[in-house]
Amino acid sequence: MIICRAAACLLATLPAVLLLAACSAGEDPIVATGAPEDATIQDFCGAYDEVAGEAADADAYREQARMLAGSGTPRDIPFSGRVGYLLYVEHVSTADDSAAGDLSDGDLEAAADSFDLAEADRAAFVAFVDYAAGTCFS
């Protein structure tokens, strides 16, 4: 009887243990609040273009986030774009394959869902991607 109770207790706590293990296995997000605000267009687009035109996986997007954190943003980025840049770098630096697939497909709403962004953050996230696409690909 004692063994059954111990087994039941173990089974009851197993999901929490697995969740904790999954959460601690991920990468730490990159916080880019101190990133340069005077990047050249060439440096910025070089970092952003890291995954352009390819079906990138999560590792490629995490590398893109690291490069963007290093390059910073150009001076002419609108305020909402800069806020979106900070969100983009933070969330993309910990992207899983599902979010990477959404980003590769250009489905920003699905990516925002994957990152669990609030409505105001979604708008800034999209403003950054629109700025980057307009600056780097036009």
How do the domains of the chain map onto residue ranges? 29-136
pTM score of the predicted model: 0.77
- Take residue 133 and report the two structure tokens written for it: 């696409």
Each residue's pLDDT, cut to its tens digit, for the chain (138 residues) gives 555 454 444 344 334 333 333 333 357 898 888 999 999 999 999 999 877 656 678 888 899 999 999 999 999 999 999 999 999 999 999 989 898 888 888 888 888 888 999 999 999 999 999 999 999 988
Q: How far apart are CA 124 and CA 62, in angstroms?
A: 19
Neighbours of 52 (CB within 10 A): 13
Among candidate residues 58, 44, 66, 62, the one with its CA nearest the CA of residue 104: 58
Q: Residue 55's pLDDT is what? A: 63
Q: How far apart are CA 114 and CA 110, in angstroms?
A: 6
Q: Residue 13's pLDDT is what? A: 39
Q: Residue 2's pLDDT is what? A: 53
Amino acid at 114: S
Q: Residue 18's pLDDT is what? A: 33
The answer to whether residues 27 and 94 touch, using CB atoms and an 8 Å cutoff, is yes
**C-alpha to C-alpha distances, 112 to 2, 42, 70, 129, nearest whole angstrom:** 48, 27, 23, 12
Q: Residue 124's pLDDT is what? A: 96
Amino acid at 75: R
**C-alpha to C-alpha distances, 92 to 19, 30, 61, nearest whole angstrom:** 21, 9, 6
